[in-house]
Amino acid sequence: MTTIMDGKALSEKIYEKIKSDVEKLDRKPTLAVILTKDNEAGAVYVRNKQRACEKTGINSMTIEFEPNVTENEMLSKIDELNNAPEVDAILVQLPVPNHLDTEKILNRISPDKDADGFHYVNAGKMFTGQMPASIACTPKGIIRLLDEYKIKLEGLNALVIGRSNIVGKPIAQLLLQRNATVTMAHSKTKNLSEYTKMADLIVVAIGKPKFLNGDMVKDGVVIIDVGISRVDGKLSGDVDFDSVAPKASFITPVPKGVGPMTVAMLIQNTLELSK
């Protein structure tokens, strides 16, 4: 029997808890979001994040820049927010325009206000097992979802496909900390099917619609589909759900799987940074 892991329902449960925690605080936490006006996909994500703030009683402020914003203008705004006592957490919605240095911008955010957990100090703490207040939201959400469904990670053969700094590398690390035996695959991996067929748990984060199909996995596998692509106006994950789901013991859908968990963890990070 296949269980479809409901990230949407779990995110709502998490919002309820955050809301009651926020009500007990003397002041409402504030999340500041920086967005450039040419980032249309980012604007959709920012609206979702604002809605999640509203649900939980967290203040949100959005700072919008023109696409030709200079690096100095953006860095100065981050400095201003870093120094603003009323701001608890800051995020820069990616991607930023090509003429800006993404790493430089992300690392200008104070590690104490790093809502996304992308600052190298927070990433480094996570990689060395000293859990920081903010951990990258998608990997944190995946672990929360696996825990909710009581999936025991210790000893599992886990395969992570994709090695980005925001998903692949941190989720591999978190799985390793939970004593899974972790393999990482990427675009240069040879004979990927040999790895996918051996895996008890597969996290796919590559951005290639329906890439992983039923012939590539074994019976009983746990599937976490991180991919989000738009195909003919509809959202698609990296997993061919129709062929993989019948073989899986647990699987996340797209939408309503990992996506809502990512936003919920951002709000959780904001609350934790405010404390």
Q: What residues act catalytically?
A: 49, 93, 116
Q: Which of 146, 131, 116, 133 is nearest to 10 (CA)?
A: 146
Tokens of 37: 């006006």
CB 258 → ligand NAP: shortest distance, Å?
4
Burial state string for 172-187 with b = 16 or more CB within 10 A and e = fewer than 16: bbbbbebebebbbbee
User: What is the 3-class SS of 237-255, one letter each residue?
Assistant: CCECHHHHHHHEEEECCCC
Which tokens belong to 202? 């597969």
Residue 118 CB, shortest distance to ligand NAP, in Å, is 11
- Using the rule CB under 6 A, which residue among 117, 132, 139, 227 binds ligand NAP? 227
Q: Count other C-beta atoms under 10 Å from residue 234's C-beta.
A: 10
Question: SS3 for 177?
Answer: helix
Sign of CA pseudo-dihedral 36, 41, 44, 45: negative
**Touching ligand NAP, residues 8-67 (CB under 6 A):** none
262 touches ligand NAP by CB under 6 A: yes
User: According to CB under 6 A, which one of 259, 264, 267, 269 is a site residue for ligand NAP?
Assistant: 259
- In this structure, are residues 265 and 137 in contact, taking their beta carbons and an 8 Å threshold? yes
255 binds ligand NAP per the rule CB under 6 A: no
User: Is beta strand 157-161 parallel, antiparallel or unpaired with respect to 181-185?
Assistant: parallel
Beta carbon of residue 259, minimum distance to ligand NAP (angstroms, whole number): 4
Stretch that binds ligand NAP, among 17-25, 56-64, 76-84, 203-211 (CB under 6 A): 203-211
Using DSSP, state whether 150 is helix, strand or coil.
Answer: coil
Site for ligand NAP in 164-193 (CB under 6 A): 164, 166-168, 185-189
CA-based nearest residue to 31, from 132, 134, 104, 138: 134
Residue 169 or 178 having the CB closest to ligand NAP:
169
Tokens at 35, concatenated: 């967005």
Smallest separation, CB 45 to ligand NAP (Å): 9
Indicate which single residue of 161, 203, 216, 264 sits in contact with ligand NAP (rule: CB under 6 A): 161
**Total residues in contact with ligand NAP, by rule CB under 6 A:** 24
Tell me whether residue 90 or residue 205 sits nearer to ligand NAP (CB atom). Answer: 205
* Region near ligand NAP per CB under 6 A, out of 18-26, 27-35, 98-106, 220-228: 220-228
* Amino acid present at 264: A
3-state class (DSSP) for residue 10: helix
Please give the residues from 61 up to 120 whose contact with ligand NAP meets the rule CB under 6 A: none
Looking at the Cβ atoms of 108 and 169, the one nearer to ligand NAP is: 169
Report the residue number, 75 or 149, with the smaller CB distance to ligand NAP.
Answer: 149
What residues line the site for ligand NAP (CB under 6 A)? Answer: 138, 161-164, 166-168, 185-189, 205-208, 226-229, 258-259, 262
